[in-house]
């Protein structure tokens, strides 16, 4: 059996796809023996750009910049958290996003109620079952014209 030894250095710019490529390359490294794969993720802001080349963004130029930055060690690679930490972070981020969306929705409802002259209930915990029932009653009261406003034909 012939022993093969290789050393592969992979450098790529971080982007919207997360750490999927990194994970795949690390799994590949663990799968094959007789070599090593080193993965480096460069933050986009840390990759040096030549003056005048800011407007022209091509894969060829980006690759050349990444190779040069790697060879000169002019960037600090992104530290990749383990999968469990990333999943936990995503869960927290999603919850915070949902909480902001809920607050925005409540504010929109409040604005609509004000616009249409519906009074917000003052009793009870906001957004509880009883409070929502009172809000619904207030909406119905605004929709139904007072008896004095109804014209009677005699």
Residue ranges per structural domain of the chain = 6-80, 98-146
Dihedral sign, Cα of residue 82, residue 88, residue 90, residue 96: negative
**pLDDT confidence of residue 122:** 82
Helices (H), 1-152: 20-31, 59-71, 83-115, 129-143
Cα-to-chain-centroid distance, residue 120: 33
Hey, what's the torsion of the CAs at 118, 121, 127, 131, to 10 degrees? Answer: -110
**pLDDT confidence of residue 150:** 52
**pLDDT confidence of residue 113:** 87
* DSSP label of 144: S
Return the structure tokens found at 126. Answer: 């906001």
What predicted TM-score, i.e. pTM, was given to this entire model?
0.61
Return the structure tokens found at 95. Answer: 């919850």
- List all residues 6 or more positions away from 55 whose beta carbon is below 8 Å from its beta carbon: none
**pLDDT confidence of residue 51:** 66
- Which parts of the chain have pLDDT scores under 70? 1-4, 34, 48-57, 143-154
Q: Cα separation of 142 and 115, whole Å? A: 12
């Amino acid at each position: 059996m012939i022993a093969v030894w290789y050393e592969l250095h992979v450098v790529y710019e971080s982007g919207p796809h997360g750490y999927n490529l990194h994970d795949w390359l690390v799994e590949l490294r663990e799968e094959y023996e007789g070599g090593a794969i080193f993965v480096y993720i460069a933050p986009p802001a840390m990759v040096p750009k030549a003056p005048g080349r800011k407007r022209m963004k091509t894969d060829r130029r980006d690759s050349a910049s990444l190779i040069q930055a790697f060879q000169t060690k002019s960037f600090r690679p992104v530290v990749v958290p383990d999968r469990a930490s990333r999943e936990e972070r995503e869960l927290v981020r999603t919850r915070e996003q949902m909480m902001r969306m809920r607050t925005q929705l409540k504010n929109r409802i409040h604005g609509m109620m004000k616009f249409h002259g519906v009074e917000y209930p003052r009793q009870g915990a906001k957004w509880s079952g009883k409070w929502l029932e009172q809000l619904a009653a207030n909406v119905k009261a605004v929709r139904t014209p007072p008896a004095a406003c109804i014209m009677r034909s005699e």
